[in-house]
Amino acid sequence: MDQLSSTTIFPVRFQGVRDDITGQIGLFWEQTKAPLVVPLLKVMVYLCLLMSIMLFVERVYMGIVIVFVKLFGRKPENRYKWETLKDDIEVGNLAYPMVLVQIPMYNEKEVYQLSIGAACGLSWPSDRIVIQVLDDSTDHAIKDLVGLECKRWASKGINIRYEIRDSRNGYKAGALKEGMKHSYVKQCDYVAIFDADFQPDPDFLWRTIPFLVHNPEIGLVQARWKFVNANECLMTRMQEMSLDYHFIVEQEVGSSTYAFFGFNGTAGVWRIAALNEAGGWKDRTTVEDMDLAVRASLRGWKFVYVGDLKVKNELPSTFKAYRYQQHRWSCGPANLFRKMATEIFRNKKVSLWKKLYVIYSFFFVRKIVAHVVTFVFYCVILPATVLVPEIEVPKWGAVYIPSIITLLNAVGTPRSAHLLVFWILFENVMSLHRTKAAFIGLLEVGRVNEWVVTEKLGDALKMKSSAKSSRKPRIRIGERVHLLELAAGAYLFFCGCYDLTFGKNHYFIYLFLQSIAFFVAGIGYVGTFVPKS
């Protein structure tokens, strides 16, 4: 009898304790909601709506400019003097400027042959071009392979120099800076830069150098990126949509209106005089390319974007590589904004409108507001309003503005318009890391100067997949589980369940879809899986 009593009393007591705790939590929530949670959430909603309007106005403005550019044919060849360089019988090849081609690389086993081969295949007088391979590899086997590849091309009569350093100080910026110190560089007028996975067509220099030769005010000519592996997986398709918008709209608008845009770090040609006048390469942030572009622009140099000229390259197809890349691309600009905002504002060599464009539009709205509003509003604040029905978000802020922004973004990649829903969900997932990285850059803490080279696979994926096809690859759970994504997914799922049960706005449809996206990313089921060797 005693045993029976104890077994029946214990669940009753446990139930009582649980009800007591639940009641205390509910009481605490009711006591703090009205005086604290509601006012704070209202302020956050207003701030997010303000940021949404800022981003909306920016997107509509750029859309109007692009329509104007397309309708009136404002191609760079029409805005600047451009003529094909011609032979001069009297001076021979001296009529052509001396061009330096730099290829920075770091342990690029899968793609070094492609990049070196493409650079050596550029059509330009052989005695007026120098190919400079800047190898920071720490793997001696890869160094030997790259060195042999350079010797092979040198034996064919190509003027190629293989340069290595004792340390990786400054990472890519340090390598490029060191490369400019060699005596033979002093003979060069222009420098073309290609990352290790970029493959320019043979006519690249013939289409870019004339802008620099005939227009002394131009300091940079930037080409567009073309992605050779965009169809590899859904994640690469999503990246293509975002980057196509960047190149087709953002870069074109900057070039057409203010003759300023951020150098993409590759597939571009610099006037060496402009590079030197701007102070050369600096490694104070992880976006040394953008840093150089801003400093050159403040010196009065103009930039030209040639959207019709495309250079093949590879998108990161593993989620790990993409996360590292996005951290660098989001943290670096925010950190550069912190370092240069005052300098830009005080500059007297450029117009007030150009300074406002760089500070407000280029940096603040695109590099900070765009990340913050995407994550904080759509993944934190909007779901929170489900739990606090006193807060009502207007439809224009919750539905209309984001819908128009999304449709405007789709113009860059019309072939992927049917993937818009997936793109929205994926971009919201990535906004978590971009927002975190932007705050790290603004506050200059933590991983602010972290530089992880984006992994390129080349043909490695095909080879590994075929080699492992006979047996199931081992998956290390610790390498694929991402706690931040799982936590965000759990929060959104809880809000979705609450809205389904008690809500009236039908947000649960979006909340469940977005939570699934976070869960999928949280378990690493995104991008391409590369079997371990």
Catalytic residues, by residue number, are: 136, 289
Q: What crossing angle do the helices spanning 319-346 and 288-298 adopt, rounded to 10°?
A: 20
Buried (b) or exposed (e) across 279-296, using 16+ Cβ within 10 A? eebbbebbbbbbbbbbbb
Compute how many other C-beta atoms are within 10 angstroms of the C-beta atom of residue 264: 22
State how far the alpha carbon of 97 is from the alpha carbons of 84, 94, 141, 190, 199, in Å. 13, 7, 36, 8, 22
- Tell me which long-range contacts 149-154 makes (C-beta under 8 A, separation of at least 24): 149/112, 149/113, 149/116, 150/116, 153/116, 153/117, 153/120
> Is residue 499 a contact partner of residue 511, using CB atoms and an 8 Å limit?
yes
Report helix, strand or coil for 480: helix
Structure tokens at 436: 């975190």
The distance in angstroms from the start CA to the end CA of the chain is 64
Cα gap 430→109, rounded to integer Å = 28
315 φ, ψ to 5°?
Answer: -85, 145
Q: Look up residue 505 and give its DSSP letter.
A: S
Residues 6 or more apart in contact with residue 123 via CB below 8 angstroms = 202, 203, 205, 206
Q: Which two tokens stand for residue 467?
A: 């080699």
Helices (H), 314-455: 319-346, 352-356, 370-372, 382-387, 395, 401-410, 420-443
Secondary structure in 3-state letters for 165-197: CCCCCCHHHHHHHHHCCCHHHHHCCEEEECCCC
**CA separation for the pair 1, 263 (Å, rounded):** 82
CB 274 within 8 A of CB 264: no
Tokens of 324: 């590292």
Rounded CA separation 515/224 (Å):
34
Cα–Cα distance for residue pair 282/5, rounded to 1 Å: 77
Reported as type and span, the H/E element at residue 205 is: helix 204-214
Token pair listed for 443: 């506050």
Position of tokens 């007088």? 125
